[in-house]
Amino acid sequence: MKKIYMFIIVLVVMIFLTGCWDQNIYEKIGFILNTGIDLGSDDKVLITQSYPIISETAGNSGGGGPDESEGIKVETIRAKSNLLRESREIFRLSTSLKLEGGKLQSILIGSDFARERNISEYFELYERDIQSTVQASVVVVDGNASELITKGARFKGKPRLGIYINEVLKRNFMAGYCPDTDIIEYDIINTTPGISPIVPMIKLEGNNIKVTGTALIDRDKMTGQLDTGETACLYLAMGRTKQSEIIFDLPEDIQSEKKKGAVFTRKVITKSKIKFQDNAPTIHFDIKPKVILDEYTWGDITDPEYQNKLEESLNTHIEKCLDNTFKKLQAAKCDAFGIGDKIRAYHYDYWMSIGELDGWKKIYVKMTATFDVKSQIVRYGEIK
């Protein structure tokens, strides 16, 4: 009996020693950190990818004077093709490292591509392949994504491109100046009728990459944009507390050369209500931000009349900003608040009667939204 056990065990072990099919040795992989998609000629797209260079000298700190070629920390590569996979195979024909997209940090979409093609078409790859990540940020580039990646890879004195873009986006998202949408969020919101995704926008400026605000998406194409101030107000209206600085005009009777003041949002509570008037919906927002006074001029904030005046001008500023923002949203047919979604959930008959999504887009453009901002300055720092 024992001999049979031995034989079986040896047989089994021999099977496993014949080699491993799926090994993916770590240091032989080139981690793609950024992918850029632009429109190319004759219906193809231009794919740019950047991956960090792992060199033996790159790890040493303060080594002997590096010349131009050794200072490169990121390699970029680009090709024209129809598919992301096809381009990756083209790249693999010439790179020494095996390119893999499992650690992708952000996918940069050129603005021309975003306006003409369906964005989520190219996300399908990341959803299908389980090794790849769906937590990469979706970013629209104001301009050419390929140019941004190629120039950004050569930046001196800045961290590697993927990490640099990550950090800039993350910080500004916490401040409310741009949204933070990753691939899976984009897909979820895109496939839900009645709400549209919004995507951060960046721009190459000299030797820096700058966040310019939000790109508005309607049915998978970019249709408009907001700047950073408007995005901050948008988050206030959504009721999401961000650490943004809001710059507002000082009331007229305050003498100051600065003419503006700044507050820091601490917490915001928003209630929105959808009402129907003559079979048309209107939405009303009640926004109550609690702010901390950050910078304005020497004055006496403890004087209640003074405080009221400041709060008044802050309210007017935010309301005006929100009106502008909502008009831009309507012009772009981008329903960032998800009003259509709420109508579908709570007023299903109305939703069906207007013809679902297509009908909603027509009605959305004509909707009225009223904003009622009641801000409260809760703290003001060390001096009055």
Which of 376, 175, 379, 375 lies closest to 292 in space, CA to CA? 379
The least CB distance from residue 164 to another protein, in Å, is 13
Is residue 301 involved in binding another protein (CB under 8 A)? Answer: no
Q: Which of 44, 103, 260, 284 binds another protein (CB under 8 A)?
A: 103
DSSP state for residue 22 in the 8-state scheme: S
Is residue 23 involved in binding another protein (CB under 8 A)? Answer: yes
The least CB distance from residue 181 to another protein, in Å, is 12
Q: Which of 6, 93, 130, 383 binds another protein (CB under 8 A)?
A: 130
Q: Which of 39, 44, 54, 363 binds another protein (CB under 8 A)?
A: 54
Q: Which of 52, 176, 261, 281 binds another protein (CB under 8 A)?
A: 52
Q: Cα–Cα distances in Å, from 174 out to 61, 177, 265, 289?
A: 32, 8, 12, 17
Rounded Cα gap, residues 49 and 150, in angstroms: 9
127 or 249: CB nearest another protein: 127
* Residues of span 205-264 touching another protein by CB under 8 A: none
Give the range of 37-45, 97-105, 327-335, 363-371 binding another protein by CB under 8 A. Answer: 97-105
Helix (H, G, I), strand (E, B) or coil at 117: coil
The least CB distance from residue 301 to another protein, in Å, is 36
Give the range of 123-131, 219-227, 287-295, 327-335 binding another protein by CB under 8 A. Answer: 123-131
Sign of CA dihedral 27, 30, 34, 35: negative
Sign of CA dihedral 95, 25, 146, 203: negative
Q: Which of 6, 10, 14, 15 binds another protein (CB under 8 A)?
A: 15
Q: Which residues pair with 221 in a beta bridge?
A: 218
Rounded Cα gap, residues 87 and 80, in angstroms: 7
Give the range of 63-71, 111-119, 131-139, 214-222 binding another protein by CB under 8 A. Answer: 131-139
Q: Which of 117, 317, 344, 361 binds another protein (CB under 8 A)?
A: 344
Binding mask 308-327 for another protein (x = CB under 8 A): --------------------
Tell me whether residue 41 is exposed, middle or buried, using C-beta atoms within 10 angstroms of its C-beta: 0 to 12, 13 to 18, 19 or more: exposed
Helix (H, G, I), strand (E, B) or coil at 278: coil
Binding mask 158-197 for another protein (x = CB under 8 A): --x--x--------------------xx-xx--xx-----
Q: Which of 9, 24, 207, 271 binds another protein (CB under 8 A)?
A: 24
With beta carbons less than 8 A apart as the criterion, state whether 199 and 138 touch: yes
Which of 363, 373, 379 lies closest to 232 in space, CA to CA? 373
Burial 58-91 (b: 16+ CB within 10 A, else e): eeeeeeeeeeeeeebbbebbbbebeebeebbeeb
Which of 341, 358, 350, 208 lies closest to 276 in space, CA to CA? 350
Q: Which of 29, 39, 168, 262 binds another protein (CB under 8 A)?
A: 29
Is residue 72 involved in binding another protein (CB under 8 A)? Answer: no
With CB under 8 A, what is the number of residues at the site for another protein? 46
User: Rule CB under 8 A: which residues touch another protein?
Assistant: 1, 12, 15-16, 20-27, 29, 31, 52, 54-56, 58-59, 100, 102-103, 105, 127, 130-135, 160, 163, 184-185, 187-188, 191-192, 338, 341-342, 344-346, 348
